[in-house]
A and B are shown apart, each in its own frame.
Chain A
Amino acid sequence: MTAIDFKRFFGKMAPSPSSPVRVMAKETAIVASHINLVYRNGGEEFNALQDVSLTVKSGEVHLLMGPSGSGKTTLLSILAGLLTPTSGQVHLLGEEITQFSRPRLAAFRLQHLGFIFQGFNLFPALTACENVEVAFHLKGTHQARRQAIELLDQVGLADRCNHRPQALSGGQKQRVAIARALAGNPQLIMADEPTAALDSQNGHAIIELLRSLAKTSGRTVLIVTHDPRILDVADRVTDLEDGKIVTKLTKAKPGQQ
């Protein structure tokens, strides 16, 4: 097994215990207030998000749904601190991240957020274990290899530790990505269309994994999706259309949408 030298790059990234980004989990994990995002193209303005307000409680699985172009992923990017809104505020775990500088935002994401992407976004040159190790090393965690194997074991891929992404199926890749998102035990998981690139069987397996994650660990999970099968695991659903929230449903059940 080849030990990857991420520590050389990431060893200094671990925040100290007194780091200002260290926050306590609150009753509400995400509070977005009056979010507006306006794109300007020449003289024209396009309102990608209009007065969006949203609250996600700690420990709940929250779905953002809506047709293509409704602004779901844009909202997710803002809530993750990857995109700055034109106006409005975002509080994550009690911190107003819209006031953060870019380096502080990056440090906050590193400590508290895990990401799952539609296209997996694994590093093709690295093995499954090394892909998970990256996250641990970014966080400055020791014994990254052992913990990476443990996480891969949790997602049922311990035997694929030394496989590169191209040797894995779509479902397996997404499970590696989920293991990576869980590295360092973040309080918030943000997933963008986690089943969109998967066939029905693999999609179902990922849904089950997300359900298990949410229910057993008490993490807050925010999922952008088109997939109605994920409604099974959701506590609440927010529907977006044309950059506006049109409905908010609580305790969604299959077929309720």
Chain B
Amino acid sequence: MASIARKNLFEDIPRFLVAQAGIMFAVSLVTIQLGILKGFSRSTAIVIDYARADLWVASKEMVAFELTSPLPADYINKSMTVTGVDRAEILLVRAGRWHGHDGKLSPARIFGFNPDGELFAGWRLSDGNLNDLKQPYTAIVASGVQKSLGLDETRIGSIAGLPVTIVGTAEDVQSNASSPFLFSSLETANTYGDAEINSSINCIRQASGDLDCTNSFKNRPLGQKNGDLAPPKPLSLSDPISYVLIRAKPGQDLPQLKQRLLSALPETQILTQAEIAAITRNYWEVRTGVGFILGLGATVGFIVGMVVVGQILYASVADHLREFGTLKAMGAANSVIYRIIIEQSLWMAILGYVPSMGICLTLGQWTQMTRGIMILIEPSTAAAVLLLTVVMCMGSAIFAVQKVTRLDPAIVFKA
């Protein structure tokens, strides 16, 4: 069934398309900004989300997943002695400098875990196998970061002079806030983490009895060949680790287990998976200001969108002012005209929203695939943007309605 509002909209197709382009711009702006904000927020803790641990043992000083102080590796054994613990696994989080095959330098975040473990690597592999990580100096790379690591078909690089062979790709696991992610075995990650710089202290006792000490730092040589390498050193109980992931025995009361772990492991905090994820997201969103900036972007997008839609609708009403005046002169109540304007604004909202959402979803997939940047448009986000679009259009319609309210019906007699 046709309507005056719809007929007014489609009366001049080029004009309609120009107006819709404006609305699509506004909707896309809001969607992308919100998607980036949500994608950023989710991605900062996505590695945690993929894990299957009930509890995480972290340093008391931990402020975010990638910003923590070390724990002794023997905490895994201590954890296992706590009643109610079914399984415990070590997780290492290390930083490294990646030398690509093209010679370019890039920061990298290296996660070390047990490839036979059950608690950490819940993510999907698009190629490769976790067992491949049992080979020394191998890693799985997060999808979308291959370009920034300069990875080509040879899939090799180096960290601190040690070779890295990429044996697989993990999907949708990269944090937008972090360096490219590499996943290795505990031994390989530990070796990469320790290998960056060799240091030594030489001290000489002076005649006065004082000690004169010299601390020497030396970069490891680059370009060592695999054949020259010793295998990665096994993790010892004195090595620093980042986290212990805990799986509780079935039926365990987690708050009580947390208390028991806290008593057994001094200087730690015991967190559920949701808690550590929330702490990490909060850190990035609040403490770094990145979340504020992205939130501001979304707000600005909404305001710009509102202004654009408002201008379009106001101009459309101005174009049809004489027609509205004619309706008023004929005896139509204001409510009749309001309904026409509001219906027109709703049509504009829907017809602007649908293609915009399609564009944004496509764009989100493209950025995820090519750059590893997550623009998260969940059904709830899409619904929220639809609501926002309707609010934008209806809010803009209020300005147009006010113009019609003030309209002098005697305008109809002005030639």
Contacts and interface: CB of A to CB of B under 8 A. Distances in A.
Interface in A107-121: 107-111, 113, 115, 117-119, 121
B331 A111 contact: yes
Interface in B336-351: 336, 339-340
A126 B413 contact: no
A13 B2 contact: no
B412 A121 contact: yes
B49 interface: no
A192 interface: yes
Contact of B333 (A5, A13, A119, A121): A13
Interface in B1-42: 1-4, 7-8, 10-11
A5 B413 contact: no
A138 B330 contact: yes
Interface in A74-108: 76-77, 80, 82-83, 103, 106-108
Contact of B331 (A8, A76, A117, A138): A138
A9 B331 contact: no
Contacts of B157: none
Contacts of A134: 4, 327, 330
B331 A106 contact: yes
A109 B330 contact: yes
B15 to A, nearest CB: 12
A1 to B, nearest CB: 11
Interface string A1-38: 01111101110010000000000000000000000000
Contacts of B329: 80, 82, 109, 115
Interface string B210-228: 0000000000000000000
Given A115-B412, A118-B415, A119-B415, A4 B4 contact: yes
B410 interface: yes
A5 B11 CA distance: 16
Interface residues of A, number: 40
A196 interface: yes
B1 A125 contact: no
Contacts of A39: none
A196 B409 CA distance: 21
A231 B414 CA distance: 23
Contacts of A196: 415
Contacts of B331: 106-111, 113, 138
A139 B325 CA distance: 17
A83 B410 CA distance: 7
A111 B333 CA distance: 13
Nearest to B9: A125
Contacts of B327: 134, 138
21 contacts: A4-B1, A5-B1, A6-B3, A6-B4, A8-B1, A9-B3, A10-B336, A13-B332, A13-B333, A13-B336, A76-B413, A109-B329, A109-B330, A111-B331, A115-B326, A118-B413, A121-B322, A124-B323, A125-B7, A125-B8, A134-B327
Interface of A: 2-6, 8-10, 13, 73, 76-77, 80, 82-83, 103, 106-111, 113, 115, 117-119, 121, 123-126, 130, 134-135, 138, 192-193, 196-197
Given A123-B323, A138-B336, 4 more contacts: A109-B330, A110-B330, A135-B330, A138-B327
Interface of B: 1-4, 7-8, 10-11, 322-323, 325-333, 336, 339-340, 408-410, 412-415
